[in-house]
Amino acid sequence: MPRVKSSDTAPKKAPVRKKTLTKTIHPKKKTKSILVDVIEDEALPSEKKLASDFLVESENKKKRKGMTSQAEKTTSEISSNLDRQKEFFSSLALKEKSTDNSNDGRGGKQDREAGKRSLGLYRRLAIKFIILVVALAVIVAYFSFSKLTVAVNLKGETISDTLLLKIFDPNNTEVPTVDDATDSITKTATATVSMLQNDPREPMAGNIKEIGTSVDKTYLATGETYLGEEVVGSVRIINNYNKSQPLVATTRLLSPDGKLFRIKNAVNVPAGGEVTVDIYTDKPAENMAISSTTFTIPGLWLGLQDKIYAKNDAPFTFTKKVQKYVTANDLEMAVKDIGENLIDNAKSKAGAGQNWLYLTLTSPVVNIDAKVGAKQEEFTAKASGKIVAVAVDVSEMSKLAAAKLNLIIPDDKELANFKGDNISYSLDNYDVASKTATVKASFSGTMILRSDAQVINPQQLVGLTDEQIRTYLNSRPELKEYTLKFSPAFMKKAPSLVDRIKIEVDKN
């Protein structure tokens, strides 16, 4: 007989009991005694309950009916027991079938639900796994492909310096003595070089020339005394008559618009000819400066006015009438200018091909043919003097200047832009006795960071955003300009790995 599982906890197994039923046969009937052994199988809790209920109900029936006789009782009991057993097992089979069907339905539903739960679990695990793989791929791609290139253009810093040179001419043998006045031995060019080696200023060989020159020049007086106003111009007196026509000074000339002018000098105009004469006006004013026109001569007979007349070919000019005189400033400027003219004259004598520096050895001797207050429009100045011309070796000077700048440049920088042609020179002094000149050279250059110097530390940029990087770079004074190139372009943040950051330096 099959066992039915119950959700309740199974009780302890009861021992198998054997019931012996004895059937008594009355003598009236010829029957045989039958011994029936009923072996009870281990009952499940539900079966026990069902059997218990059935037995209780049977006992109640027995009590109601009573036992009429022992044989009937025995026969009825046997029959009843058989019927009850049949009913018991039938009901038990139905119960088990019902229970099995119920369990099968619940089990199938539970299996389906369990399958659904398992499928959802697998789906969630798969989604999480995919998300994890994608995130890992993004992280790997970020570290593998993210890159930042910083291209910087360095800003040069100007550095300036000066150098004093002691210029000597190796070809010049006219050198003063080394010892005191009692020693009459003159120095040679080699002795001059030896002397210069003890001078704190930088010695340099060059060319030195002493040039004597003279010059004269005319200058205009700038002093003015106001005398009044005047209208200045000239006219042509035209005579188309068959006789000459004399005209006295102050003869009137009348313009078409009624302006009156006079001729300054007396003239005699020949027949069929013309004469040019200056004019003036009694009332000078700006409106009297008229353009070209034809004038009549009111003093002539009316019949001659169309034959003898005047005409101006150029406009008249209105001016203020002044008296020129020489001022003290005129003389000072003349002395200064005549000295510069002496140097210009010396330049033409020094010769071309070298960068000469000039200096007047002594104050030039200047002679001027006018004094302060002299009423004249111009005066003449003459001067003479001695000029020294010094030429510097530009190539050598360029090397010295570059070496001097390299000495004062910091260790982490280098000279980037220096041109010897831009050196400016000034001749400060000339020693006539030693025939040496002191020249001051002024020069400048541009210095930038050295090629092996670290302009930007990539470690400082790790993980910074675009704005943070720009703020950092803007604070660096040595940078002229810069550009940032992110890869990929949409990622505006520096990589987290320092080796993915590249610095490119442009020194041009």
Identify whether the C-beta of residue 350 lies closer than 8 Å to the C-beta of residue 254: no
Size of the chain in residues: 508
Structure tokens at 16: 């198998």
Give me the pLDDT at residue 71, please.
46
Q: What is the pTM of this model?
A: 0.46
Average pLDDT over residues 212-237: 90
Mean pLDDT of 84-102: 63
Residue 346 has a pLDDT of 85
Tell me the pLDDT of the chain averaged across its residues. 78
pLDDT category at 184 given cuts 50, 70, 90 is very low
Q: Give the pLDDT confidence of 352-381 residue by residue, as tens digits.
A: 777 888 888 878 888 999 999 999 999 999
pLDDT tens readout for residues 36-59: 444 444 444 555 555 566 565 666
256 phi/psi in degrees, rounded to 5: -60, -30
From 138-147, 174-183, 427-436, the region with the lowest mean pLDDT: 174-183
Band of pLDDT at residue 4, cut at 50, 70 and 90 = very low
Residue 300 has pLDDT above 60, yes or no: yes
Is the pLDDT at 190 greater than 70? The verdict is no
| In the chain, where the domains are located | 18-126, 148-204+392-508, 217-221+326-387, 225-320
Tokens of 197: 């080696």
In this predicted structure, what is the pLDDT of residue 178? 40
d(CA 294, CA 310) in angstroms, rounded, equals 6
Per-residue pLDDT, 198: 60
Contact between 410 and 393 under an 8 Å Cβ cutoff? The reply is no
Better pLDDT: 228 or 262: 262
pLDDT for 314 beyond 50: yes
The answer, yes or no, to whether residue 187 has pLDDT greater than 50, is: no
CATH of 225-320 among 2.40.30, 3.30.43, 1.10.10, 2.115.10: 2.40.30
pLDDT for position 235: 96
**98 burial via Cβ count (<10 Å: 0-12, 13-18, 19+):** exposed
pLDDT in tens, 122-163: 788 888 888 888 888 777 766 667 888 998 887 778 889 998
> Residue 37's pLDDT is what?
47
